[in-house]
Structures are given as structure tokens and as C-alpha cells.
């Protein structure tokens, strides 16, 4: 025969609750108090997070440094499961980096006809066109595909080097000399 557990009245509603150490409220009152307490603590938690952002970032970097592979796997899985969010985050961060808003990017893309400003093609990997900018001034010049953006970067965004490369491709520089010496000033003036 099973014995009944002794009960006592709940200190909020007066209903029955099990008698025991630390049990002050019945189950429904305890759930209500827990929910109310969590709602009350939320602004405090957000405030604490704001005030201790540096500490939180330090701890996050420390956890990442301890096991970077774990985070890489987790992030890759999340990105694979959320391609739309991943693309939106990528776009937002990219625009923020160059000081553009989405409307400006879209206007620039429409102005270029949705293709690269140099080769006239879309990105072969399906990603959005890259934002090309002047490294000295930070001014946005246009949108480029991955290949054209990489080519400009490898040529150090230097117009004289691009002209030398163009002259080389056109065959106007004598080939077969081992090392071709070209005075940049002549090419720039031309």
C-alpha cells in the first residue's frame, strides 16, 4: 500500500503543495513566478552584456582559441542550414565595410547592367559582385567579378602596371629578351 506524501498550503494561492524542504509554492505558482522573474531579469542581462562586451568578447576568443575546429564545424553546419541568412549577413557586413546602403549597391549594380564593370560577366561562383574601391581614398569605383577584382589586387591597383601588362598582352613589348625593361614614364605618357 502506497502512502500519501504530506502536503501543506501554497504560500501564494493557498492550494496544496507537497511538503518538503525548499518547496514553498505549488507547481502552477512556481511556473508563474519563474516566468515573471525571467522577464524581469532580461533588461538587466542585456544591460550587463552591453557593459561587459569586452569581457564577453575576450572569453569568446579564448574558447575559440582552445578548440577552433569545433567552432568551424558548427559555423559551417549553421551556414549550410541557413543559406539565406548567411547571404544576408555577408551582404550586410560587406556594405557596412564600404559605407554603402543596400539601395546604393543595387543602384550601382543596375547602372552596370548586373555584370562586372571590366569583363561584362557575372561571378562564375554565383556570389554577388565584389565592391571595388580605391585603397588610398576608400572611394567605391564599381562592382567586379572575382577574377577581375583579384587581377586588380595582384597588380596593386596601379594603372602603370596595368598598362605594362596590356602592352605585353598586345605584343608591343619585344618578347624573348629574358627580362624586358620598360620605362613606365614612356607608357604612362603614351
Amino acid 183: pLDDT: 47
pTM above threshold 0.85: no
**Ranges 2-6, 88-92, 102-106, 146-150: which has the least confidence:** 2-6
Higher pLDDT: 181 or 61? It is 61
Distances (CA, A) of 174 to 16, 30, 62, 76, 186: 100, 88, 57, 50, 15
The CB-based long-range contact list for 78-84 (8 Å cut-off, 24+ gap) reads: none
Amino acid 184: pLDDT: 45
Amino acid 111: pLDDT: 94
Which residues, in sequence order, are bridge partners of residue 9? Answer: 16
* pLDDT band at residue 185 under the 50/70/90 scheme: very low
Of the chain, the percentage scoring pLDDT greater than 90 comes to: 26
Amino acid 158: pLDDT: 86
Amino acid at each position: 500500500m502506497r502512502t500519501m506524501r504530506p502536503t501543506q498550503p501554497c504560500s501564494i494561492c493557498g492550494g496544496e503543495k507537497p511538503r518538503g524542504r525548499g518547496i514553498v509554492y505549488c507547481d502552477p505558482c512556481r511556473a508563474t513566478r519563474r516566468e515573471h522573474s525571467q522577464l524581469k531579469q532580461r533588461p538587466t542581462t542585456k544591460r550587463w552584456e552591453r557593459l561587459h562586451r569586452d569581457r564577453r568578447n575576450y572569453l569568446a576568443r579564448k574558447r575559440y582559441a582552445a578548440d577552433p575546429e569545433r567552432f568551424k564545424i558548427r559555423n559551417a553546419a549553421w551556414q549550410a542550414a541557413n543559406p539565406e541568412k548567411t547571404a544576408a549577413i555577408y551582404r550586410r557586413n560587406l556594405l557596412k565595410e564600404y559605407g554603402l546602403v543596400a539601395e546604393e549597391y543595387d543602384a550601382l549594380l543596375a547602372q552596370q547592367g548586373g555584370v562586372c564593370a571590366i569583363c561584362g560577366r557575372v561571378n562564375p561562383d554565383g556570389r554577388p559582385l565584389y565592391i571595388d574601391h580605391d585603397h588610398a581614398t576608400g572611394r567605391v569605383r564599381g562592382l567586379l567579378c572575382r577574377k577581375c577584382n583579384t587581377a586588380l589586387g595582384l597588380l596593386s591597383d596601379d594603372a602603370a602596371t596595368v598598362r605594362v601588362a596590356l602592352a605585353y598582352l598586345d605584343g608591343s613589348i619585344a618578347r624573348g629578351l629574358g627580362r624586358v625593361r620598360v620605362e613606365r614614364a614612356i607608357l604612362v605618357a603614351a
